[in-house]
Amino acid sequence: MSNKREKVLIIAELSANHNGDLEVAKETIRAAKKAGADAIKLQTYTADTMTIDVKSDLFLINHGTAWDNQYLYDLYKQAYTPWEWHEELFKTAEEEGLLCFSSPFDISAVDFLEQFNPPYYKIASFEIHDIPLIRYVASKGRPVIMSTGIATKEDIELAVETCRKEGNNDITLLKCTSAYPAPIEDANLLTIPDLAKTFDVEVGFSDHTLGIEAPIVAVSLGAKVIEKHFILDKSIGGPDAHFSLDFEEFKALVQSVRKAEKLLGKVQYKLNDRAKQSGTFGRSLFIVEDVAKGEVFTEENIRSIRPGYGLHPKYYWDVLGKKATQNYEKGTPLTFECVEGGEVIKNI
C-alpha cells in the first residue's frame, strides 16, 4: 500500500478558474492558502494536446452540461493554463507554503512538469483509460493520484496494475462522479472504503457536488485526500465557476474536514483523564442506611447509585449477606474494607 497519510490532504483545484489572467491565478493560490488548503493543483494541457480542431458533431459537446454547444477544441483553448505561467505558479505556491502539482494530459506535459519536481502526479478522470500516459507517469517514481469518475472496476484494476508494473505502488484512488455539478444521489461514497479494501491503496474523494457536505462524509468513510475546485470569486465566471467553491465556502470546507478528523480520532478504549473524571458520575455501591458493626448487608442498606466512588456494581451479589466490619453512616461509599472477607471478594 502507498504511504499512509496521517492528515487529510486538502487540494484546491485551480482548473480554469484563473479565467485567462495570470494575476488572478496567483491571487487564487494565495487565497487557497488563506482558506486552509494544503495543495494547489493545476492542469497542464493545450487544446492541441487534448484534441484536434475539427468542427463536426463528433467534437461538439451536447450532453446536457454547462459547456454544451461548444466544440472541444474551443473549450480547451479557453480553459487551459498557459505553460509559460507554470514557473510563476509553482513559485507562488512555494512562497505560500503550498504543495503544487498538476494533472498532465499527455506525455509532453509530464516531461514539461518534471522540471518543477512535483510531489504528485494526478491522473484526471477522463484520462483513466490512457494507459500509455499512466505508465509514463508511474515510471517517474512520484506518488500517483488517480480519479475514477468514468472508470469501471476493470478500468481501475488496469490502471493500478499499470502503475505497479512500473514499480510504483504509491497510489491514491479518488472516488469521483464526473458530472459538473454532480447530483448527491450519484456520489455513492460507500465506494471509498471498498476502493481501499479492493485495491490496497490510499483513497480520497474528488468532489463535484455543490456544497461541502460530501467531503465531510467522505472523510468519515476513510478519505485521506479531498480535492475541490476553488475560485477566487464566482463573479469572474469561466468554464468551471458554476461548481467551484469561493473563498468562504472553501474555508468552511477546510474547517469542517479538520473537525471531522478530530471526531474520528483513533480506535480507543482506554479512558483519558477527562473520561475518568466523568466516571465519578457513574454508579457504584453505597451504604444507603446506617449500618452497625456485624450487621448484614442487604438489599435495603446497600444500593447501586451515583456517584461512582464506591465498589463496582458487579460486586453487589458478592457483598449481599456479608457483615459490616464496623459502624457506617448512610452515604458511605462501600469498599472492600467495609466487608468482612472483603479481600476474598476482591480476588474473585
Mean pLDDT, contiguous 10-residue spans, the chain (348 residues): 79 95 97 98 96 94 77 91 98 98 98 98 97 98 97 98 98 94 95 98 96 97 98 88 94 98 92 84 96 98 97 97 98 97 89
Residue 26: strand, helix, or coil = helix
pLDDT of the residue at 237:
84
Element (H, E) at 254: helix 247-264
Q: What's the pLDDT at 3? A: 59
* CA 17/CA 28 separation, integer angstroms: 8
- Tell me the C-alpha distance between 103 and 82, whole Å: 13
Question: Cα-Cα-Cα-Cα dihedral of 99, 103, 108, 114, to 10°?
Answer: 20
Q: Which three cell numbers stand for residue 89?
A: 505558479
Find where cell 473563498 sits.
247
Quick one: pLDDT at residue 59?
Answer: 93
User: Whole-structure pTM over 0.75, yes or no?
Assistant: yes
Q: Which of 334, 338, 343, 337 lies closest to 309 in space, CA to CA?
A: 334
Amino acid 68 reads D
Kindly list the structural domains of the chain, giving each domain's residue range(s) and its CATH number in brackets, ordered by start: 9-45+80-264 (3.20.20.70), 273-346 (3.90.1210.10)
For residue 44, give the C-alpha cell. Answer: 497542464
Set of cell numbers at residue 257: 474536514
Asked if 307 contacts 281 with a C-beta cutoff of 8 angstroms, the reply is yes
Distances (CA, A) of 246 to 29, 145, 210: 12, 24, 11
d(CA 348, CA 346): 6
d(CA 227, CA 206) in angstroms, rounded, equals: 5
Residue identified by cell 477527562 is 274
Query: Phi and psi (nearest 5°) for 95?
Result: -60, -30
Check residue 1 and give its pLDDT. 43
The whole-number pLDDT of residue 54 equals 95
What are the CB-based long-range contacts (under 8 Å, 24+) for 295-304? Answer: 295/323, 295/324, 296/321, 296/322, 296/323, 296/324, 297/321, 297/322, 297/323, 297/324, 297/334, 297/339, 302/334
H-only helix segments in 97-166: 107-113, 131-139, 153-165
Question: What are the pLDDT digits (tens) for 34-45?
Answer: 999 999 999 999
pLDDT digits 0-9 by tens, 178-193: 888 999 999 999 999 9
What single-letter amino acid sits at 56? S
Q: What is the DSSP letter of 328?
A: B
CB 25 within 8 A of CB 43: no
Contact 33, 94 (CB under 8 A): no
Q: Is the N-terminal amide bond of 239 cis, ω within 30° of 0?
A: no
